[in-house]
Amino acid sequence: MNRNVATIPQDLIAALKKAKHVVVFTGAGVSAESGIPTFRDSLTGLWERFHAEDLATPGAFHKDKELVWGWYEWRRMKVSQAQPNPAHIAVATLATLVPKLTIVTQNVDDLHERAGSTDVLHLHGSLHSPRCATCGQAHILPPGIPVEPEGGRRSSPPVCICGGLVRPGVVWFGEDLPVRELRQAFEAAQKCDLLFAIGTSGLVQPAARIPSLAKQAGACVVQVNPTSTELDRECTWSVRGGAGEIMPNLLQAAFGPA
Ligand code: OAD
């Protein structure tokens, strides 16, 4: 027996087998095994002396547009070079195994979609959909993977046809989340019978309310994370380990080999 493999509780397996509506709520940890640093990992290269929280603000963009645009282009390159990992694939597979699945992510990457998931609710926007900071017009990025140096670089944001500067299509600290996505995520949390919180520290509101909304409405809440988090007290089960190992094991335990 491999002692590193977390034991999956039998009552969790039973709950998954009979669940009618499952919500999967993901954070940066679900993409960690694809080589994408989590939000609270230390930054390196040009951004070594910054915290991600200090770059992901309207004020940071206002103060130093080249620094912030360069950071997002570097992140877009990293995500474009990465591949979905077994956790993303297990989540996409789960949609074929339960009557209803809603995927809600805080991630700005597209790895759920590239694993085959559709209708993913992105609460914090996307690296792949920049828009004009002045008129809001969507900006079409050049095709292909951006070529950025490993240590990052400052880079001027593109200019919109209105003359305004283009900004990343993400939600920054202090900004509102997209109304439709947030409403649908809250509704799904309140209607589901089982919610997975995978790879999130549960620190950033209002997204972090989602597991507690599910719990208050009577759903079971499962956390998949190698460490303890703010969400521990909301959870019916906390399965400790990497999502890329736990999620495929859990699907196999509940539904048999793929
Ligand atoms: P964090 O970086 O705060 O947390 C990532 C979580 O993933 C941590 O709890 C890790 O223990 C866990 N983790 C690491 N490796 C894992 C693995 N292999 N499998 C499962 N879990 C793993 O990221 P988020 O919770 O996503 O918002 O952060 C939430 C939001 O805070 C982000 O969307 C971003 C940030 O501020 C904005 O940019 C608005």
Residue of 39, 91, 182 with the most ligand 1 atoms within 8 Å of its CB, for mutation: 39
Ligand 1 atom 3, closest CA: 201
Ligand 1 atom 26, closest CA: 27
- Of 64, 28, 62, 67, nearest to 47 by C-alpha is 67
* Whole-number pLDDT of residue 5: 52
The answer to pTM > 0.75 is: yes
- Sign of the C-alpha dihedral, residues 230, 5, 11, 199? positive
- Alpha-carbon span 194 to 19, nearest angstrom: 6
Phi, psi (deg, nearest 5) at residue 224: -120, 110
Residue of 26, 51, 61, 200 with the most ligand 1 atoms within 8 Å of its CB, for mutation: 200
Secondary structure string (H, E, C) spanning 34-52: HCCCCCCCCCCHHHCCCCH
* Whole-number pLDDT of residue 112: 98
* Whole-number pLDDT of residue 3: 43
- Alpha-carbon span 236 to 222, nearest angstrom: 6
CA-CA-CA-CA dihedral for 165, 166, 172, 174, to nearest 10: 30
Q: Which amino acid is at 106?
A: Q
Neighbours of 241 (CB within 10 A): 17
Structure tokens at 103: 């995927």
* Whole-number pLDDT of residue 4: 44
Neighbours of 62 (CB within 10 A): 10
Angle between helices 243-255 and 10-18 (to 10 degrees): 70
* Whole-number pLDDT of residue 1: 41
Count of helix runs (H) and strand runs (E) in the chain: 9, 8
pLDDT in tens, the chain (258 residues): 444 456 899 999 999 999 999 999 999 999 999 999 888 888 888 888 888 888 999 999 999 999 999 999 999 999 999 999 999 999 999 999 999 999 999 999 999 999 999 999 999 999 999 999 999 999 999 999 999 999 899 999 999 999 999 999 999 999 999 999 999 999 999 999 999 999 999 999 999 999 999 999 999 999 999 999 999 999 999 999 999 999 999 999 999 987
* Whole-number pLDDT of residue 42: 82
- Alpha-carbon span 7 to 33, nearest angstrom: 20
Atom of ligand 1 nearest to the CA of 243: 19
- For every residue of 104-119, DSSP letters joined together read EE---S-HHHHTT--S
Decide: residue 115, CB within 10 A, 0-12 exposed, 13-18 middle, 19+ buried: buried
Residues in the chain: 258
Please identify which of the residues 88, 112, 122, 124 carries the catalytic annotation.
124
- Alpha-carbon span 78 to 145, nearest angstrom: 9
- Alpha-carbon span 125 to 177, nearest angstrom: 8
Q: Which value, in Å, is the radius of gyration of the alpha carbons in the chain?
A: 19
Q: Which amino acid is at 179?
A: V
Q: Which residues pair with 114 in a beta bridge?
A: none
DSSP E strands: which ranges in 68-219?
Answer: 100-105, 121-122, 131-132, 166-167, 194-198
* Whole-number pLDDT of residue 49: 86
Confirm whether 124 is a catalytic residue.
yes
With a Cβ cut-off of 6 Å, ligand 1 is lined by 27-29, 32-33, 38-40, 53, 56, 106, 124, 171, 173, 199-201, 203-204, 224-227, 229, 242-244
